[in-house]
Structure 1
Amino acid sequence: MQRKWLAFVFAGLLAGTGLMIHADAAAQQRPKAGAPKAAAKKAPARKAAPKATKAAPKVTTVPAGILIPPGANTLGAHAALYAAYANDVNGLSVGSITTGRGLTVSTERIARHLNSDRLALGIIAYGAAWAASEPEFVTEVRKAEATMGRDALIARLRSDITFARSLPGGEQAAQSAARVVLADAARIQTQGDAFKQAAYDWQRFAWAKASTADSKARNAALRALVPPPPLAAPSVTFSTLPDANPTSQSRQVRTQVLQRGLNISTPAAREAIVLTDPIRPYSPIDRMVAVAALTAIGAPSDRKEDTEALMRDPRLVSCVNSSRLNMQMCNAATKQPYERSFCLAEHPLGEIAKCMAKVVR
Structure 2
Amino acid sequence: MLVSNLLKQCLKTNHRNNLRLTRHFANNNVADGKQDEESDGRRSTLFFNPRVQQLLKDLTTVDLEKVFQAKKYQEKLRTPKYKFMTTEELEEALQETAQKAEEQLQMPPVLPRREEKTEILARDSLLKDWDPEKSTYIFTDITFGLSDQERLIVKRDPEGTLSKATWEERDRINQLYFPFPGRKWIMPKMFEPEYLEDLLKREEYMFILDRACVQFEPNHPDYIDCTQKTYEYINEKKAFDKLRSTRHFGPMAFHLASTKQIDNLVLECLQKERIDDAARAVQLLHLIHPDCASVDVPLSEQNKLEFLKNYAKKDSKKHGAIELAIQAYEELNRQKEEVKRNVEEAHGS
TM-score range relative to shorter protein: under 0.3
Judging by fraction of residues, say which structure has more strand: 2
More contact order relative to length (CA 8 Å, sep ≥ 6):
1
Bigger CA radius of gyration: 1
Judging by fraction of residues, say which structure has more helix: 1
Normalised by the size of structure 2, how large is the TM-score?
Answer: 0.20
